[in-house]
Amino acid sequence: MTRYAIYYAPASDDPLWEAASIWLGRDGATGAARPQPDLPEIAEITADARHYGFHATLKPPMRLAEARSAAGLEEAAATLAAGIAPFDLPPLAVTNLHGFLALCETVPCPPLQALSDLCVAGLDEFRAPPGEAELARRRRNGLPAAQEAMLQRWGYPYVFGTWFFHLTLTRRLDVAEHAVYRPEAEAHFAPAIAVPRRVRDICLFVQDGEGAFTLARRFPLRG
């Protein structure tokens, strides 16, 4: 069954989008494959991130609830975005995030948190409850009480107080892999992350028949 997600993603003409498309080996807007850097096992360590498309999660992937439609979700997302003002994104840095390499903001950004909170709550009527298999997968390594509460209420453990902004670049790496890939990622992304950027829209990504998520539509922030 098709899944939908609301993400932050850089604009298609942002150098960060180009750098990420090359790093991951796929353009998340067109679905086109891109040649990756000449690094050992780069296709394998980026496979999961490539599958989801370059993004930061705002409203996690969900199946539509009964009597809800994709058109209705698009209309609601457009309305939500229209009430939010664009804002500056803090500088980003390549970070070791619980073993994953990810681009994270270097200083807290309350507007980012507020944007995620609004997307999670404001679009929740469109979310079908997770099935038992999905819940079991989320719990397989154990969840702290706060994350378990979010999973039960919102269908995902990392929302509101447990949410954190990140743009994933790799799977979880071991110490030796970090020594190889982190310097390469820092060098690869340095020119792009040096460019100031604003959050100007939110994005609807849709999971296709092959399981990959692709950008379907952007909703401008107009507040």
Q: In what order do the strands lie in the sheet with 100-105?
A: 92-97, 100-105, 167-172
Six token digits for residue 132 = 């038992």
Percent of the chain topping pLDDT 90 = 91
pLDDT tens figures, 95-150? 999 999 999 999 999 999 999 999 999 999 999 998 888 888 889 888 999 999 99
- Angle (CA) 204-63-203 rounded to 5° is 5
CA separation, residue 136 to residues 42, 128, 148, 151, 155 (Å): 30, 16, 11, 11, 12
Q: Could you tell me the pTM of the whole model?
A: 0.95
- Give the total number of structural domains in the chain: 1
Minimal CA–CA distance to 162: which of 10, 54, 60?
60
Q: Are 100 and 184 in contact (CB under 8 A)?
A: no
Q: Is the pLDDT of residue 47 over 90?
A: yes
Query: Looking at residue 122, which CATH number applies to its domain?
Result: 3.90.1140.10
Supply the pLDDT for residue 81: 98
Residue 142 pLDDT = 85
Question: Residue 72 pLDDT more than 80?
Answer: yes
Range of the domain at 66: 4-220
The reported pLDDT for the residue numbered 89 is 97
Residues 73-95 pLDDT 10s: 999 999 999 999 999 999 999 99
Burial degree of 122 (CB within 10 A; 0-12, 13-18, 19+): middle
Encoded tokens for 187: 């060098």
